[in-house]
Amino acid sequence: MSLPRFAVSEEKNNWLSEKMEALGIRERDLEERFIRSSGPGGQKVNKTSTCVYLKHLPSGLEVKCMKERNQSINRFLARRELAEKIERMLGQPTAEDLRREKIRKQKLRRKHRSHRICSTKGNPANVPPPPPGTAPPSNQMKRCDSKKNIHEADGSRNRPLRGEASYPRD
């Protein structure tokens, strides 16, 4: 028994059938029921059975999908969600896992980039450092405007720490 065609593009239908075949999910292993949806949608969802309940009999995994007002689209979404659950159960990375990993790497890259910019911002390569024991000229003050630290080359703070008064102490 082949996979039914849903009200989505042919490309998505083909992708789903390939995905289910790769994971060993057969249509005869699925128990599918249609029940009435709840939530937004008004009379349309209250009168028709657009919610799809899908159970994979070999694994016992269950999925309930009522995201759309169209039963055919909900059937597609339920199968896609079931395939992701089975992937996760088998320990394979899902599309969501890959997306999270990509975001994590982007944040890490931004963090490293901000530290590099901070450490080289005030001292260009063509300006020699001041002699030891002397304060740098005011135009060479190193300043790093990061969320966590704002400092100058001579080590003084230009803002109070949490809990300190914002006025200068005598």
Contact between residue 36 and residue 48 where contact means Cβ atoms under 8 Å apart: yes
- Domains, the chain: 10-90 (3.30.160.20), 94-121+140-153 (no CATH)
At residue 81, the pLDDT reads 94
The per-residue pLDDT for range 35-75, each reduced to its tens digit, is 988 877 777 777 888 899 999 999 999 999 989 888 999 99
Rounded-to-integer distance, Cα 103 and Cα 139, Å: 38
Q: Cα-atom radius of gyration of the chain, to the nearest Å?
A: 29
Residue 144 has pLDDT above 60, yes or no: no
d(CA 152, CA 57) in angstroms, rounded, equals: 65
One-letter amino acid for residue 66 of the chain = M
143: tokens are: 């300043």
**pLDDT over threshold 60, residue 136:** no
| pTM of the shown model | 0.59
The answer for residues whose C-beta is within 8 angstroms of residue 121's C-beta and 6 or more apart is 142, 143, 144
Which amino acid makes up residue 105? Answer: K
pLDDT at 126 over 90: no
Residue 84 makes CB contacts below 8 A (sequence gap 6+) with 94, 95, 96
pLDDT band at 161 (very low <50, low <70, confident <90, very high): low
Q: What's the pLDDT score for residue 37?
A: 81
For residue 129, pLDDT over 80 is answered with: no
